[in-house]
Amino acid sequence: MRRITATLLVTLLPYPALAQKSTVSQPWPPAAPQQAVPSPRPTPVPPAQVAQEVRDYRLNNEDRIVRELGELLSIPNIASDTENIQKNAGKLREMLEARGIETHLLPIQGRGPVIFGKLTQREATRTVIFYAHYDGQPVDPAAWTDGKPFEPALRTNSIEAGGKRIPFPQPQPGERAEYQDDWRIYARSASDDKSPIVMLLAAMDALRAKKIPIAVNVKVILDGEEEAGSPNLERVVELNKNLFTGDVLITCDGPVHQSGKPLVFFGNRGVEDVQIAVYGPIRALHSGHYGNWAPNPAFWLSRLLASMKDETGRVLIEGFYDDVTPLTDREKKAVEEMPQNDAELMRELEFAKPEGGGKKLAELINLPSLNIRGLRSAYVGEQSQNVVPEKAEASLDLRLVKNIDPQKQFERLVGHIRKQGFYVVDREPTREERLKYPHIAKVTYSGGYPAIRTSMDLPVSRKVVEVVEGAAGETVKAPTLGGSVPMYIFERLGLPVIGVPIVNYDNHQHSSDENVRLGHLWRGIEVYAALLADLTW
């Protein structure tokens, strides 16, 4: 152990100086990186030992890690909030450069840039690209317990488990604050997806402090529009294709398995967001004077939505499942081996019967889905008005699996809506159309991209599992993550894409009261450190 440490002292030299700021006038595209001079590879430190040393570092640096995360979470990060999303990018650039990562902001008009970072190791033969995103889902502050999604709050546990809000520790210089694993930080993007960025950087800090060499060239891609469907990422990647060469892409997005075990996944579902509006009279009408004569768009929307799925949750749209590529035997086996915790999960989520006709969650995620993510027509509750509404709206998301084309799936949906007797438009209907067609639906989609699935049989696939299990113990292997990340962009570049998420599953991702559990963060640092130190194959 001592001998290894001594050896590592030497290998530390290739690290670029810390906090080396790039100047604004830096030329772009940058000059090709210096050719790494081959040098003898250090004996790799086994993952379990990396994890242990990193843990020791972390125990003495929790304050610093939490403070860095807290500062990042304090910057509002909705993709469409141009000013703030740029502030996030500026902050992240500083954070990356502080670790000696050569950082470039690849600009997108009116949105946050794609942040690209590169850290070359003289002795490395493999290049590992880490992907995360720094934007978050839209927020409705009124729906948050603390009312302020961008003022990180510390709690002694999850709100559901009665976690009390406590101040962030303010240790005196030289003092170490006491953090508990069950504590949680509440803020938008606490889990999705700022924590993984901070943990990856903390992993680098820990390795450096413990003098464990990074065994691979590291590239980092931080997307500023993931929650908005990454509409520009593909173009930016195309324009800068030469930057994105590598041997594997590790995506840091998503939660670990509900069992609490670490997770490695080999694909993710694609997604497209669909908005549907159904029309009634041109203006809301008094429901007494017009109440069983003027057509009610909320009824017609209800009928339309009800027609889309049967009571088991099976989608009734023609052809919806036609293009599904069956799982391979190995993938089926992986699904079978995943922990059986659906019943526990139902108890925790307090519902009595899942959709899926008896299939378990892990299986269902390998099928396409159709979800109503929102409904709106006039007002409910205290704000109710006695009207026949002029419009009723639904927001859907369709999840796609390997081989389903987003445009084709959208067309199947539109075909179904037409079959229900609707005249379909992609903009507000005209007066003439309203007077001609009894039922009109405006149907539009955005953010569509396909699913991916990397073979679990690739050497790199096996190696990632080996390193994660070495660092963090028994790991769940999933052919597909239920969520969506635009990894098709990288798959098209020929990169195998593998997911190594770190955050707790009960993180309220995409909803109010998003949070991250500290214990998961700590383990995430160990896992990422082990990948940096050992992902060679």
Binding of a second copy at residue 165 (CB under 8 A)? no
Backbone φ, ψ for residue 329 (5° rounding): -60, -40
- Nearest to residue 245, comparing CAs of 219, 215, 216, 214? 219
> For a second copy, what does the binding mask look like between residues 466 and 505, x meaning CB under 8 A?
---------------xxxx--------------------x
If you search the block for the tokens 């987003």, which residue do you land on? 406
Residues 304-333 that bind a second copy (CB under 8 A): 305-306, 308-309, 311, 313
Alpha-carbon distance of 418 to 378, in angstroms, equals 25
Residues 10-69 that bind a second copy (CB under 8 A): none
What Cα–Cα distance (Å) separates residue 213 from each residue in 54, 124, 205, 210, 365? 12, 10, 11, 9, 38
Q: With CB under 8 A as the contact rule, which of the stretches 38-46, 50-58, 371-379, 408-416 interacts with a second copy?
A: 371-379
Work out how close the CB of 514 gets to a second copy at its nearest, in angstroms, rounded to a whole number: 10
Residue 306 DSSP symbol: H
Binding of a second copy at residue 426 (CB under 8 A)? no
Binding of a second copy at residue 295 (CB under 8 A)? yes
Alpha-carbon distance of 140 to 149, in angstroms, equals 8
Residue 454 · residue 497 · CB < 8 Å? yes
Residue 36 · residue 121 · CB < 8 Å? yes
Say what angle helices 47-59 and 62-73 make with each other, to 10 degrees: 80
Q: Which residues contact 108 (CB under 8 A, 6 or more apart)?
A: 114, 224, 225, 232, 236
| Closer of 24 and 142 to a second copy (Cβ) | 142
Binding of a second copy at residue 351 (CB under 8 A)? yes
If one counts every other C-beta atom within 10 angstroms of the C-beta of residue 325, the result is 12
Q: With CB under 8 A as the contact rule, which of the stretches 98-106, 165-173, 231-239, 345-353 interacts with a second copy?
A: 345-353
What Cα–Cα distance (Å) separates residue 154 from each residue in 75, 150, 173, 379, 472? 17, 12, 21, 35, 25
Residues 375-414 that bind a second copy (CB under 8 A): 375-389, 392-395, 397, 399
Q: How many residues touch a second copy (CB under 8 A)?
A: 103
Q: With CB under 8 A as the contact rule, which of the stretches 5-13, 24-32, 67-75, 348-356 interacts with a second copy?
A: 348-356
| Closer of 469 and 513 to a second copy (Cβ) | 513
Binds a second copy (CB under 8 A): choice among 160, 181, 428, 457 = 160
Concatenated DSSP letters for 110-171?
Answer: TEEEEEEEEE--TT---EEEEEEE--B----GGGSTTS-TTS-EEESS-TTTTPPEEPPP-P
Q: With CB under 8 A as the contact rule, which of the stretches 29-37, 178-186, 360-368, 529-537 interacts with a second copy?
A: 360-368
Work out how close the CB of 315 gets to a second copy at its nearest, in angstroms, rounded to a whole number: 8
**What tokens appear for 119 in the block?**
């850290």
Binds a second copy (CB under 8 A): choice among 33, 141, 319, 374 = 374
Residues 119-158 that bind a second copy (CB under 8 A): 137-138, 140
Residues 237-256 that bind a second copy (CB under 8 A): 254-255
Work out how close the CB of 272 gets to a second copy at its nearest, in angstroms, rounded to a whole number: 11
Work out how close the CB of 254 gets to a second copy at its nearest, in angstroms, rounded to a whole number: 8
| Closer of 92 and 274 to a second copy (Cβ) | 274
Binds a second copy (CB under 8 A): choice among 67, 303, 330, 332 = 303
Q: What is the SS3 assignment for 93?
A: helix
| Closer of 208 and 391 to a second copy (Cβ) | 391
Binds a second copy (CB under 8 A): choice among 285, 414, 500, 502 = 285
